[in-house]
Amino acid sequence: MNSAVCLLDIAAAKRGDKTAVRDEWRSVTYSQLRAISRSIGTALLRSGSTRRPVIVYLPKSISALSSFMGAMYAGCPYVPVDAHIPMSRLQKIIDNLAPGHIVTAPDLAPNLDTIDLKDAQVCMYDELCSAEADDALIESSLAAVCDIDPIYVMYTSGSTGTPKGVTIPHRGIIDYAEWVTTTFENGEDTVMAAQAPFYFDNSTFDIYGTLKCMGTLILIPDTLLLFPSKLPEFLADNEVTSIFWVPTVMINVANSGALEGVSLPKLRVIAFAGEVMPNLQLNIWRRALPDCVYANLYGPTEITDVCCYYVVDRPYADHETLPIGRACRNMRLLILTEDNREAAVGEQGELCILGSGLALGYWNSPEITEKVFVQNPLNTEYHQRLYRSGDLAYVNEEGLIIFLGRKDGQVKVKGNRIELGEVEAAARCVPGVENACALFDSEKQMIVLFTESAESFTLRRFNLELKKYIPAYMLPGKLVTMEKLPYTANGKIDRMNLRGLI
């Protein structure tokens, strides 16, 4: 298989009449999804710019999903962006990416008038769909793809304020879909309820894990995610068998009490990743739904969503830490000490990852790519790249990996990866702010922002300003305005001092 979109061709050939995806507006069968996507692919190919990335600027929907597939049929990598993305951030992405096309809809398109699109063509989704599919054109486009070509670029937070475009090859997704299907024994009866936004790579578990087994993918409406106590009812009504949610959502559902007395006889697989899952809330799930398989997954965007996993196989006390387990098939994890030795059992080190899911690098950014995608220091025989994750971990007596935290200024809030430097850069763009320092309060799991400004802001008002530069998930949970931030003798912000104020 050279392109992940072959999974759609296979599903449409075998189970064409089956419901492939349902969102809050419509549902499509595998044949329909393939036909729509081939129309889009044809329209993209006819308007030129082969192999150039296609930004999909649409809400989480069948429209967005079929645009991804359409881009793949055209041999182009797709780039999902949030429908609520601040335009200044989209501008940075476009500057880095130089996309050939931007697929959008009439209600979102006017936002694009405010920024410089370079030579990208703006295409309306409905118009792309109305093109007549040219199968011969698509086949010749697909024949030119190989599995080391990029399938998508996903932008993650960058410490200088410029997002980094993680570029993943088809092979990463093809292998990952295979792993998801075999590990969780997915089949045609699989009904997956997708929580993750498409611009977050957890969505690849939902999309390709379902496509591979020819199951049905249900896109949970965004509004419903604002009301987590209503999610179990949604799972029951849709006869969902599998979920892969970020722990924040699982925690909110558990805390809402909505799992008490709930009946979910179809639910079989409950997987989670993106941040630490506390056993306190996991135990609420386990008591309510004792027959489900629970799996703790781990992986940075740079290795195609997930590289190691732990299927929970014993009771855990509320205060215990869940391991992140062992490497997935075709992936290898090394824990390297500061002097590049392999850490002994119990010894802390940096988690380094290699395998088929390894990213090609950061789009159009060779310098930052070279810093973290490096030669495996344990391999002196031949060239072998690995990814230095910046995550600290150790292996316990049972051979299971335990995640500890970060080496640097990166944090996770509600499963979203955030560089504190990007929050600081945005804060300095707010009029009246002289300087800013963002710190993470790990107990409350939120960002605390200290600003130097004459004027004092309320958190809510300040966040309205910040939203012009960064996505909502990066907003601080607490704001402290100071006339002057504390500085060290050499003029740097005294972070230790500020940390004491949290």
Partner 1 sequence: MNIEEIIKTLEDYIREQFDIGDDPDYNSEVDLFEYGFLDSMGAMEVIAYIEEEYSIEITQKDVVLYPMNTIAEIAEVIVNKLD
- The Cα 112–Cα 262 span in angstroms is 45
455 touching partner 1, by CB under 8 A? no
Answer for which of 15, 18, 22, 230 binds partner 1 (CB under 8 A) is 230
221 touching partner 1, by CB under 8 A? yes
Chain-centroid distance of CA 421 in Å reads 20
Write 461-469 long-range contacts (CB < 8 A, 24+).
462/430, 465/430, 465/431, 466/423, 466/426, 466/427, 466/430, 467/86, 468/86, 468/87, 468/88, 468/429, 469/86, 469/88, 469/89, 469/425, 469/426, 469/429
95 touching partner 1, by CB under 8 A? no
496 touching partner 1, by CB under 8 A? no
Residues 208, 184 contacting (CB under 8 angstroms): no
252 touching partner 1, by CB under 8 A? yes
**Closest CB to partner 1 among 87 and 293?**
87
Burial of 105 (0-12, 13-18, 19+ CB in 10 A): middle
Q: Binding string, 10-29, against partner 1, x = CB under 8 A?
A: --------------x-----
**Closest CB to partner 1 among 253 and 295?**
253
| Binding window for partner 1 (CB under 8 A); candidates: 38-46, 198-206, 219-227, 261-269 | 219-227
What's the helix, strand, coil split of the chain in %, to 5?
30, 25, 40
Residues 34, 12 contacting (CB under 8 angstroms): yes
256 touching partner 1, by CB under 8 A? yes
Which H helix or E strand runs over 295?
strand 293-298
Answer for which of 233, 320, 347, 370 binds partner 1 (CB under 8 A) is 233
Q: Binding string, 467-486, against partner 1, x = CB under 8 A?
A: --------x-----------
Question: In this structure, what token pair is assigned to residue 357?
Answer: 């899911």
CA distances from 171 to 68, 70, 154, 247, 389 (A): 16, 18, 16, 28, 20
Strands 326-327, 308-311: pairing kind: antiparallel
260 touching partner 1, by CB under 8 A? no
261 touching partner 1, by CB under 8 A? no
Burial of 391 (0-12, 13-18, 19+ CB in 10 A): buried
Nearest approach in angstroms of CB 243 to partner 1 is 15
280 touching partner 1, by CB under 8 A? no
219 touching partner 1, by CB under 8 A? no
CA distances from 332 to 214, 232, 260, 327 (A): 28, 36, 40, 6
457 touching partner 1, by CB under 8 A? no
Nearest approach in angstroms of CB 178 to partner 1 is 33
Beta bridge partners of 480: 450
Supply the DSSP string of 167-195, one letter for each residue.
Answer: EEEHHHHHHHHHHHHHHTT--TT-EEEE-
Which H helix or E strand runs over 361?
strand 361-362
464 touching partner 1, by CB under 8 A? yes
237 touching partner 1, by CB under 8 A? yes
Strands 121-124, 150-156: pairing kind: unpaired
**Closest CB to partner 1 among 255 and 497?**
255
**Closest CB to partner 1 among 25 and 487?**
25
**Closest CB to partner 1 among 356 and 416?**
416
225 touching partner 1, by CB under 8 A? yes
Q: How many residues bind partner 1 (CB under 8 A)?
A: 24
107 touching partner 1, by CB under 8 A? no
**Closest CB to partner 1 among 437 and 466?**
466
**Closest CB to partner 1 among 223 and 380?**
223
Nearest approach in angstroms of CB 195 to partner 1 is 12
456 touching partner 1, by CB under 8 A? no
239 touching partner 1, by CB under 8 A? no
224 touching partner 1, by CB under 8 A? yes
Residues 349, 330 contacting (CB under 8 angstroms): no
463 touching partner 1, by CB under 8 A? yes
With both helix axes pointing from N to C terminus, report the angle between 170-183 and 203-213 in degrees, rounded to the nearest 10: 70
Nearest approach in angstroms of CB 109 to partner 1 is 20
Nearest approach in angstroms of CB 227 to partner 1 is 5
Q: Which residues bind partner 1 (CB under 8 A)?
A: 24, 221, 223-231, 233-234, 237, 252, 255-256, 458-461, 463-464, 475
